[in-house]
Amino acid sequence: MTVILPFILIAVSLGVIIVIIVRKYPQLLLLDIDSLPEIQQSRKKDIIIKKRAEKESKHLYTKLFESLKPAIQKLKDIQLLFRKFVGRIERKSAMEDGKRAKSGSQEYKKQKEKESLTLVQDASQDVDQDDFATAEKKYLAALKADAKNKDAYKGLAHVYYQQGQKQEAKETYKFILQLDDNDEETHLKLGEMAEEEGDIQEAVECYQQAVILNPHNPQRFVKIYDLLFGIEQYETALEAIEQALELEPQNPKYLDNFVETSIIIGRKDLAEEGIQRLRMINPENQKLQTFKQRIEEL
């Protein structure tokens, strides 16, 4: 009996517990865990931590992007330098291949020259369609066939210029002058590029070379006059406009510039001469009276 008694007590206790659970079970089912203050506080804390983490992550991303900007720009610069390097290698390869072709037979040379001319013609059509990348490849191929094809170099320089590679264009034009220093068109192109860059002295020198090669074009002298007048080198500008007047002595615009510059440098004799010539061409010229008054003040 003494041995059985503990088991009886345990059984009674379990029975009491079961009865309590059965009575309270419906209430337990209705209990809203989410409404407990502890649970709500914990979830609010999780939301705050999550938002803070997102904010810090966004800040770190922005900071990282800003720190990488110089590296990204440097990478772009390296890519540009590499492209220029490849261009120089291709030009050098084209010239070397052309030299090897030169050492071959005359028949082979003529064949390569013909091939080069055809490529230049094809490239010109690509340029007309603004397909500069294809044109560049064909001009380089033309130079591989004939390293002395000036038209190929001119086309290549033009393509570089159109693609914004002005330094490469300038180098190519200068190389053309090594092949033929008497190429008027190339001197003019270099003059135009120097003028765009604001290097007026360089532009004047290039235009002067073009004038030496072709002294019968008055517009070349007028171009030089305009540039020199713009930088207030009036005496040299006067010489340029005088050269233009020798070619077109009755051009009213040239005479107008001649009188204006003569007055500026105080050459009353030349200014009066210019007025007489203007009056003979057009007695109704409205500037005659103004010029006359300015000359009287000299």
- Cα distances (Å, whole numbers) of residue 113 to 26, 90, 161, 258: 103, 19, 25, 49
Predicted local distance difference test score (pLDDT) of residue 23: 57
Residue 142: other Cβ atoms inside 10 A: 29
Same domain, 75 and 145: yes
On whether residue 204 sits in a domain, the answer given is: no
Same domain, 162 and 246: no
Report how many domains make up the chain: 2
- Assess whether pLDDT exceeds 60 at residue 21: no
107: pLDDT confidence band, cut at 50, 70 and 90? confident
- Assess whether pLDDT exceeds 60 at residue 171: yes
Q: Would you report the helix, strand and coil content of the chain in percent, each value rounded to 5?
A: 85, 0, 15
**Among 157, 173, 189, where does a domain finish?**
173
Distance CA 45, CA 50 (A): 9
On whether residue 254 sits in a domain, the answer given is: yes
Please give the structure tokens belonging to residue 183.
């190429």
On whether residue 15 sits in a domain, the answer given is: no
Same domain, 168 and 242: no
Range(s) of the domain holding residue 142: 71-173
- The length of the chain, given as a count of residues: 298
Same domain, 86 and 156: yes
**Among 133, 151, 173, where does a domain finish?**
173
Distance CA 226, CA 216 (A): 18
Kindly state the average pLDDT of the residues 154-169: 95
Predicted local distance difference test score (pLDDT) of residue 10: 59
On whether residue 66 sits in a domain, the answer given is: no
38: pLDDT confidence band, cut at 50, 70 and 90? low
**Among 173, 193, 224, where does a domain finish?**
173
Distance CA 204, CA 228 (A): 8
Cβ contact 256:249 at 8 Å: no
- Assess whether pLDDT exceeds 50 at residue 25: no
- Assess whether pLDDT exceeds 90 at residue 104: no
Same domain, 85 and 155: yes
Same domain, 168 and 254: no
Same domain, 168 and 76: yes
Same domain, 150 and 79: yes
Distance CA 183, CA 188 (A): 9
On whether residue 274 sits in a domain, the answer given is: yes
Distance CA 264, CA 221 (A): 19
CATH number at residue 252: 1.25.40.10
Q: Comparing 36 with 128, which gets the higher pLDDT? A: 128
295: pLDDT confidence band, cut at 50, 70 and 90? confident
108: pLDDT confidence band, cut at 50, 70 and 90? confident
Same domain, 157 and 246: no
On whether residue 45 sits in a domain, the answer given is: no
CATH number at residue 106: 1.25.40
